[in-house]
Amino acid sequence: AVVVLDFGGQYAQLIARRVRDRKVYCEIKPYWTDPRELSGYMGIIFTGGPGSVYAEDAPLCRPELFSLGVPVLGICYGAQVMAQVLGGRVGPMEAPEFGKTQMAFSEKSTLFDGVPDSVVWMSHNDGITEAPQGFAPSARSAHCPMAAMEDPGRKLYAVQFHPEVAHTEHGNRMLENFLYKVCGCAGDWEMGSFAKDTIESLRETIGDKKVLCGLSGGVDSSVAAMLVHRAVGKNLTCIFVDHGLLRKGEGDLVEQVFKKEFDINLLRVNAGERFLSKLRGVTDPERKRKIIGEEFIRVFEAEAAKLGKVELLCQGTIYPDVVESGSGQAAVIKSHHNVGGLPEDVGFEGIVEPLRDLFKDEVRRVGMELGIPEKLVWRQPFPGPGLAVRIIGEITEDRVKTLQEADAIFREEVANAGLEREIGQYFAVLTGTRSVGVMGDGRSYGETVALRAVNTTDFMTADWYQMPYEVLGRASNRIVNEVPGVTRVVYDVTSKPPATIEWE
Ligand code: XMP
């Protein structure tokens, strides 16, 4: 394995991810980790970080680290740490570089083997002004004569730019050179080893304590619960609060998979009526969310209380949810609430978050490894408050049913067209607009359903999806014919921004 030494900022996870993508297992440790703990790794990567290495109390490493014989790659701030600690000089640059920068590389460097002169991503105020003894410069840009330096004899490499970001044209090649050629990693690690290793370490850390998990049917909580289940079996109990606002058939699917197929202790709470009665007459979107969030916690707590003493709470937090990152992350764990919000202060000794280092697609890969059905693993994102935020106006049992049916037809048609994995998120909305239709000989006056489909990388921005007309046509036709009370279907062609993905 390789270790990423985290000097702060937001870089550690991305670097770790790039390393794992190159099939090398990777862990993250804080910068102050004792060098003796690092001697067993095949390579060490220093991350970037905010600030200046010459500032008072700047995060640095101990010089012994460089004598372990383990190859080190310093990135940006990490490169400056290497220079500073080994006796070189770091100072402010006359012309700080930010963004895409043309770079010339030394042909002799193993790190840049096969890398032509090309564009890299720079972001720095400081630079290495004098290399430590034994180092030679290995890359330069117009304003930065020492954009990289190396001491191949000691296997120490430093780059001022960021090979881990996509804007660095040959960044992956540089990481591969470091991992395979300098560190000698085989590059044969698979996500399956993550599952195996995680299950083993969960077994050790959990011991015979009891664990509770709130299962939403979403991929994150499902995969987290499955890992814990593999580790501790019946000492895990999952509570699945079915608020009655799930998509058609989804509650049963969760129960079927977890209880029947995997024999997990699963308590399904059918709280549909309770939620509906709390929501009666409510039309304001934020009030809907609030009511559902609060009610969710109440139901969850009431069920948890029946279980007696439970020491640990398992959550499906994944990396993008981790608000707090950076050094010291191992100690400080901040929980993000996936489903309406789970209680933080109900007396758990600790929180188990086995996925907090992973990105969504990595979580899916682990899910597949664990044998979770594709339907759940590839489930598209679904808001905690469920269909409530897709029903404009008052939520009634009938309207929930209407939307579930329309949505199911839309999903079926998307699947029939083979577009399921092509589209980031797609669903039907009950718009609350009534419109006139003709059915048979009579006039009808029914609901308008909007279909929505978007593509997005991060859900912060999204493009409306250019759905083939045939798919829209078939979905529309079926919805007005098969779903009572719906007289019209429209397609939403707004991107985000200015619109949001959901209608409420
Ligand atoms: P918007 O509508 O803000 O949605 O563009 C962005 C993404 O977040 C999901 N979403 C929610 N998820 N609780 C959630 O857990 C919520 O209240 C909520 N509102 C929106 C939405 O489905 C989309 O993927």
pLDDT in tens, 94-104: 888 888 999 99
Closest Cα to residue 49, out of 95, 11, 87, 2?
11
Burial grade of 296 (CB within 10 A; 0-12, 13-18, 19 or more): buried
Which atom from ligand 1 is nearest to the alpha carbon of 456? Answer: 24
Ranges in the chain annotated CATH 3.40.50.880: 2-182
pLDDT the model gives residue 345? 53
pLDDT confidence bin for 322, thresholds 50/70/90:
low
Compute the radius of gyration of the chain from its Cα atoms.
27
pLDDT the model gives residue 187? 94
How much distance in Å is there from the Cα of 133 to the middle of ligand 1? Answer: 54
Q: Which of 73-82, 121-130, 357-366, 463-472 has the lowest mean pLDDT?
A: 357-366
Atom 4 (ligand 1): residue with closest C-alpha? 501
How much distance in Å is there from the Cα of 336 to the middle of ligand 1? Answer: 14
The reply to whether 162 belongs to the active site is yes
The amino acid at 314: C
Confirm whether residue 218 is marked as ligand binding.
Answer: yes
Distance CA 250, CA 125 (A): 52
Atom 24 (ligand 1): residue with closest C-alpha? 381
Atom 10 (ligand 1): residue with closest C-alpha? 383
What are 262-291's pLDDT values in tens digits?
999 999 999 999 999 999 999 999 999 999
3-state SS of 37-55 is HHCCCCEEEECCCCCCCCC
Closest Cα to residue 126, out of 99, 95, 92?
92
Atom 9 (ligand 1): residue with closest C-alpha? 383
Confirm whether residue 220 is marked as ligand binding.
Answer: yes
Catalytic: which of 61, 76, 183, 185?
76
The bridge status of strand 136-140 relative to strand 89-105 is antiparallel
Confirm whether residue 216 is marked as ligand binding.
Answer: yes
Please report, for residues 316, 366, 416, the alpha-carbon distance to residue 363 in angstroms, rounded to integers and kept in the order given.
10, 5, 26
pLDDT at 220 over 60: yes
**Residue 152 backbone phi and psi in degrees, to 5:** -60, -30
Higher pLDDT pick, 440 / 152: 152
Second-level CATH architecture of 2-182: 3-Layer(aba) Sandwich (3.40)
Second-level CATH architecture of 396-491: 2-Layer Sandwich (3.30)
The reply to whether 369 belongs to the active site is no
Atom 7 (ligand 1): residue with closest C-alpha? 459
Q: What is the mean pLDDT of residues 388-409?
A: 97
Ranges in the chain annotated CATH 3.30.300.10: 396-491
Distance CA 244, CA 275 (A): 7
pLDDT at 380 over 50: yes
Which atom from ligand 1 is nearest to the alpha carbon of 382? Answer: 22
How much distance in Å is there from the Cα of 321 to the middle of ligand 1? Answer: 13
The reply to whether 150 belongs to the active site is no
Q: What is the mean pLDDT of residues 415-421?
A: 95
Which atom from ligand 1 is nearest to the alpha carbon of 504? Answer: 2
Catalytic: which of 164, 353, 405, 504?
164
Question: For a pocket test of ligand 1, which of 501, 503, 504 has the largest count of ligand atoms closer than 8 A to its C-beta?
Answer: 501
Confirm whether residue 193 is marked as ligand binding.
Answer: no
How much distance in Å is there from the Cα of 320 to the middle of ligand 1? Answer: 14
Which atom from ligand 1 is nearest to the alpha carbon of 425? Answer: 24
How much distance in Å is there from the Cα of 179 to the middle of ligand 1? Answer: 38
Distance CA 291, CA 384 (A): 12
Distance CA 118, CA 111 (A): 14
Catalytic: which of 124, 162, 229, 243?
162
pTM higher than the cut 0.80: no
How much distance in Å is there from the Cα of 383 to the middle of ligand 1? Answer: 5
Atom 19 (ligand 1): residue with closest C-alpha? 383
Distance CA 502, CA 504 (A): 6
Closest Cα to residue 191, out of 433, 20, 326?
20
How much distance in Å is there from the Cα of 502 to the middle of ligand 1? Answer: 6
Higher pLDDT pick, 14 / 493: 493
Atom 14 (ligand 1): residue with closest C-alpha? 383
Q: Which residues contact 503 (CB under 8 A, 6 or more apart)?
A: 389, 390, 392, 429, 431, 450, 452
Which atom from ligand 1 is nearest to the alpha carbon of 381? Answer: 24
Question: Which residues surround ligand 1 with Cβ inside 6 Å?
Answer: 289, 381, 383-385, 389, 425, 459, 496, 500-502
pLDDT the model gives residue 346? 56
How much distance in Å is there from the Cα of 347 to the middle of ligand 1? Answer: 29
| Of the options 3.90.550.10, 3.40.50.620, 3.40.50.2300, 3.40.50.720, the CATH number for the domain spanning 191-377 | 3.40.50.620
Distance CA 69, CA 271 (A): 60
Confirm whether residue 221 is marked as ligand binding.
Answer: yes
pLDDT at 21 over 50: yes
Percent pLDDT > 70 in the chain is 94
Question: For a pocket test of ligand 1, which of 284, 459, 494, 496 has the largest count of ligand atoms closer than 8 A to its C-beta?
Answer: 459
